Amino acid sequence: MDLSLFERRRYTQGETPIEYLANLTDLLGGPEIYLKHDDLLGLAGGGNKTRKLEFLVADALRQGADTLITCGAIQSNHCRLTLAAAKKEGLHAMLVLSEIIPGSYREDAVGNNFLYRLMNPLEIHVVSGTCDLNIAMLEHAEILRAKDYKPYIIPMGGSNAIGCLGYIACAKEIIVQSEKLGIDFTHVVTPTGSCGTHTGLLMGLRGSGVKTPVIGMSVNNPSDKHIRRIEKLIQHVNGELFSKRKIPITDDDIIVFDEYIGSGYSLPSEGLKEAVQLLARYEAILLDPVYTGKAMAGLVDLIRKGHFKKTDKVLFLHTGGSPALYHYPDYTL
């Protein structure tokens, strides 16, 4: 897995730190809990999509694009970071936002919506939650081409073969940090949404000969749907990017829990409030209620159910998203 073969922009200086959560570990009675701070990645507010965008934006520039088009929910961290990357590179950006809950979009909302306005995209289009976002982006791309723009479409979450490279790179970073710290992580836990982060972590570890289980905590869909999506992404990465040396992944490698979604994407779930409060009040770490809060709720529940040994060393991937926290105070207080 020679990532130097792929063009890449750099939006973060150095590696993101790994922190031992001593207070949370003591509170729960083990296993040892560590946290990978991808909330400290570069661009406006940080978060996991920054890693994907390093490769996606490089591809857009290679193709001569002057406008990035992407989509997400109305409080999308991915849209915020894509817009930030566009501004960093002197590009335009168009955002297509899905109003999953009818009537929930407000132009003057705080959180990521405030940051959209602050960074000033070329256009924001809000569509119904039933709208096919891929078709919507294609239609807007044609309109922009008619106006002599050169658009480049980035899928939801940056989750395609090129985007997965970001977390293949992260997996290699974790391996190096593990060696430096003298810690053999027994599990890696990540939020699973559009599946690019989960897929990249899994492929990066297995491609480096590391068998550590990657546990995904679904924030939106049943586990079988995520498993099919991860399998498809693996096929695309191997077929499009590593065809000469495919990364072997078995069915047993793909692990997704879907018990912590609650009533739906961006809606509250059982254990969410407690998880966000535990991290804030015992470790001074901010989780968001859409991704990391639900994933941490899942980790806490699995620990209480005895899923892990007391001697295990679990690495939780903090994928960021704290700007969205300010939009959902009712979920966390």
In this predicted structure, what is the pLDDT of residue 73?
94
Q: Which two tokens stand for residue 280?
A: 């804030």
Domain-wise residue ranges, the chain: 3-47+159-332, 58-157
Domain 3-47+159-332 = CATH 1.10.645.10? no
The answer to whether the CB of 217 falls within 8 A of the CB of 257 is yes
Rounded to whole angstroms, the Cα distance separating 71 from 220 reads 16
Among residues 104, 103, 105, the alpha carbon closest in space to that of 95 is found at 105
180, amino acid identity: K
Q: Around 61, how many Cα atoms within 13 Å sit in the side-chain half-sphere?
A: 16
285-327 confidence digits (pLDDT tens) = 999 999 999 999 999 999 999 999 999 999 999 999 999 999 9
In this predicted structure, what is the pLDDT of residue 102?
87
Q: Just give the CATH number of 58-157.
A: 3.40.50.1100
Rounded to whole angstroms, the Cα distance separating 78 from 321 reads 9
The answer to whether the CB of 218 falls within 8 A of the CB of 192 is yes
In this predicted structure, what is the pLDDT of residue 244?
86
In this predicted structure, what is the pLDDT of residue 262?
93
Q: Report, as ranges of residue numbers, the positions in the chain whose pLDDT lies below 70.
A: none
Rounded to whole angstroms, the Cα distance separating 95 from 118 reads 14
In this predicted structure, what is the pLDDT of residue 111?
94
pTM: 0.96
Rounded to whole angstroms, the Cα distance separating 206 from 204 reads 6
In this predicted structure, what is the pLDDT of residue 333?
85
175-200 confidence digits (pLDDT tens) = 999 999 999 999 999 999 999 999 99
Residues serving a catalytic function are: 76
Say whether 101 sits in a helix, a strand or coil: coil
Tokens 């047993």 map to which residue?
252
